[in-house]
């Protein structure tokens, strides 16, 4: 009993002061979710930020709690797919990719073909979908480039696709064309860039 009381007191004392912005009932519910997530090894800061975002927007307490709980579930799904060694930023990027339409299997595949960190690759998947690229096409494109492309290459790939879309190219077609160009670049040992060229001399 004494140990339990001490643990409870410690948890209350450690409660993030930023959550004081929430009403008592919402704060209590959010704190419970955050504590549980922290115990499970999930990034608590992402949950706190989601709660604060809801408070800033004036969302009802029930909606804030629901959003925090949903994010906890999604972070858990991302960690299962990416592995227990995934970092907080990787898990958050994984959630963004999942919510964009990527499957957990895509996240697991990405983990197997690319060295960490995977944050940028996952973010590019989500950004491509936001630009109108079908989720399966975005995932396939990143998976195709991931084994050899640097983070900077993936960013340039995303920008190139977005430029093509802005010029009127269908999102799926723009992605396919740029993947082929990127694969050719990699075959020549080239980093970012749109035009393949032979490798530079040492």
Write down the domain spans for the chain: 20-82, 89-202
Burial of 10 (C-beta count, 10 Å sphere; 0-12/13-18/19+): exposed
The whole-chain average pLDDT of the chain stands at: 88
Q: What is the pLDDT of residue 182?
A: 62
Classify residue 173 as exposed, middle or buried by CB count within 10 Å of its CB (0-12, 13-18, 19+). Answer: middle
Q: How far apart are CA 29 and CA 24, in angstroms?
A: 9
Average pLDDT (156-172) is: 97
- The reported pLDDT for the residue numbered 181 is 82
Confidence of residue 150 (pLDDT cuts 50, 70, 90): very high
Residue 201 confidence class, pLDDT cut points 50, 70, 90 = very low
CA-derived radius of gyration, the chain: 21
Q: Is the pLDDT of residue 24 over 60?
A: yes
Q: Counting Cβ atoms within 10 Å, is residue 86 exposed (0-12), middle (13-18) or buried (19+)?
A: buried
- Span 74-126, pLDDT tens digits: 999 999 999 999 999 999 999 999 999 999 999 999 999 999 999 999 999 99
Query: pTM of the predicted model, to two decimals?
Result: 0.81
* pLDDT per position as a tens digit, 37-76: 999 999 999 999 999 999 999 999 999 999 999 999 999 9
Segment 12-22 mean pLDDT: 78
Give phi and psi for 75, each to the nearest 5. -65, -40
User: 20 vs 189, which has greater pLDDT?
Assistant: 20
pLDDT in tens, 104-114: 999 999 999 99
pLDDT at 190 exceeding the cut of 90: no
Residue 71: half-sphere exposure toward Cβ, Cα within 13 Å: 28
Predicted local confidence at residue 14, as pLDDT: 53
Q: What's the pLDDT at 197?
A: 38
């Amino acid at each position: 009993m004494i140990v339990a009381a001490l643990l409870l007191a410690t948890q209350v004392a450690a409660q993030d002061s930023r959550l004081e912005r929430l009403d008592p009932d919402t704060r209590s519910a959010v704190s419970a979710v955050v504590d549980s997530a922290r115990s499970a090894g999930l990034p608590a800061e992402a949950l706190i930020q989601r709660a604060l975002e809801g408070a800033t927007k004036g969302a009802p307490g029930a909606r804030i709690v629901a959003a925090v709980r949903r994010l906890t579930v999604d972070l858990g799904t991302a960690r299962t797919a990416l592995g227990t060694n995934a970092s907080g930023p990787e898990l958050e990027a994984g959630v963004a990719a999942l919510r964009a339409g990527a499957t957990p299997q895509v996240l697991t595949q990405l983990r197997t073909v690319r060295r960490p960190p995977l944050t940028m690759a996952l973010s590019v998947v989500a950004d491509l979908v936001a630009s109108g690229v079908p989720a399966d096409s975005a995932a396939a494109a990143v998976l195709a480039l991931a084994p050899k492309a640097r983070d900077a290459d993936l960013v340039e790939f995303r920008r190139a696709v977005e430029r093509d879309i802005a010029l009127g190219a269908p999102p799926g077609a723009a992605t396919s064309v740029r993947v082929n160009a990127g694969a050719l670049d990699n075959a020549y040992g080239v980093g970012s860039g749109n035009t393949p060229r032979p490798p530079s001399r040492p």
